[in-house]
Structure 1
Amino acid sequence: MSSERRFVYTTYIRSTAEQVFRALTTPAFTMQYWGGAELTSDWRVGSPLEAVHPDRDDFIGEILAVEPPHRLSYTFTGPAEQAAGRPPTVVEFTLSPFGEEAVKLQVVHTGFTDDEQGAQDARDVGEGWPAILSALKTLLETDRPLASPGHFAPRTPATPAR
């Protein structure tokens, strides 16, 4: 029996689609809301993606779709999961206007395996995405990183992100 585990999260950000897309794809932004990780890639379909953090392994992936400023998708896995032969999951961001001053950002995370590890992975992203996206929203709306604890703590870039 197969189930389609998926995680869907929608938020509304007082910003433009261009600014949100740039924040999703610029290391100086990502390190401020993605628990200190710099998401690095050339953002071309088929290219590798790596979340670089000085203190831990984070995630790796491959770019599946890039349609600035409305859609971004990539695979998502950890180095240990990849080494164990576990298939990656898939993350897709869609951005659309929401009135005159805001953007609707939806994240859909799919591809969790139909076993206990897949169930745990789904629970993990169910906690991770709301924290990451709340920190993204705070950063874009206030120009200040959200003071998050532990694994979610931001890092400050050496030069301004804007």
Structure 2
Amino acid sequence: MTEPSDRTYVYTTYIRSTAEQVFRALTTPAFTMQYWGGSELTSDWQVGSRLEALHPDREDFVGEIVAVEPPHRLSYTFTGRAEEQRGRPPTLVEFTVEPFGDEAVRLRVVHTGFTPDEQGDQDMRDVGEGWPAILSALKTLLETDRPLASPGHFAPRDPARA
């Protein structure tokens, strides 16, 4: 697992769910569009494959799958399409899912690779707002079977449990 540093964002949450359900929610477009601001995360989820976040109203992020170890670990690179076209290096996201007692799991996201410049500082601020909203919405969806009614950029789309 990636170790935190001063250029690392770490977020941990606890979800009343199973590792299998959380991993499925992280990798299934019908789930992601309900908690990831309406974006469908699409990939074949094989190491080296492309990952795309698709949204009908905006450009979203792209990446490459780095590690897939269902149901406990998922990692991929993360960059905006415009940044990718400019050749800006991507950051790296790693999810770990571990049992937490008999009825819950610990979901941890470690986001690394922020550049030591003004853009890297802005990227860290952006993920500092984004990850809590996204993972809170994921937790709500898995625990209540309903998407979190989030505003604006974080709003879910077409809730249709897969």
- The TM-score range, normalised by the shorter chain, is over 0.9
**Match in the other structure for 2:98:** 96
**Match in the other structure for 2:39:** 37
**Match in the other structure for 1:114:** 116
**Match in the other structure for 1:62:** 64
CA distance in 1, matches of 2:11, 2:84: 25
Q: Please, which runs of 5 or more residues in structure 2 have no aligned partner? A: none
**Match in the other structure for 1:105:** 107
Q: Please, which runs of 5 or more residues in structure 1 have no aligned partner? A: none
- The one-letter amino acid paired with 2:147 is P
* Local SS of the residue matching 2:60: strand
CA distance in 1, matches of 2:127, 2:140: 19
* Local SS of the residue matching 2:46: coil
CA distance in 2, matches of 1:46, 1:96: 24
CA distance in 1, matches of 2:72, 2:161: 21
Asked if 1:20 corresponds to 2:22, the answer is: yes
CA distance in 2, matches of 1:132, 1:113: 23
**Match in the other structure for 1:7:** 9
**Match in the other structure for 1:50:** 52
Give the aligned length: 158
**Match in the other structure for 1:161:** 161
Q: TM-score, normalised by structure 1?
A: 0.95
Superposition deviation, residue 4 in structure 1: 4.3
Q: Deviations over 1:55-107 (max 9, x none)?
A: 00000000000000000000000011111111000000000000000000000
CA distance in 2, matches of 1:161, 1:79: 28
- The one-letter amino acid paired with 1:95 is V
**Match in the other structure for 2:80:** 78
Q: TM-score, normalised by structure 2?
A: 0.95
CA distance in 1, matches of 2:50, 2:31: 19
Superposition deviation, residue 156 in structure 1: 1.4
Worse-matched range after superposition: 66-75 or 79-88: 79-88
Q: Is the 8 A contact 1:4 1:111 kept in 2?
A: no
Asked if 1:133 corresponds to 2:157, the answer is: no
Calculate percent identity across the aligned residue pairs.
83
- The one-letter amino acid paired with 2:16 is R
**Match in the other structure for 2:125:** 123
CA distance in 2, matches of 1:24, 1:14: 15
Q: Is the 8 A contact 1:40 1:51 kept in 2?
A: yes
Q: Deviations over 1:121-156 (max 9, x none)?
A: 000000000000000000000000000000000001
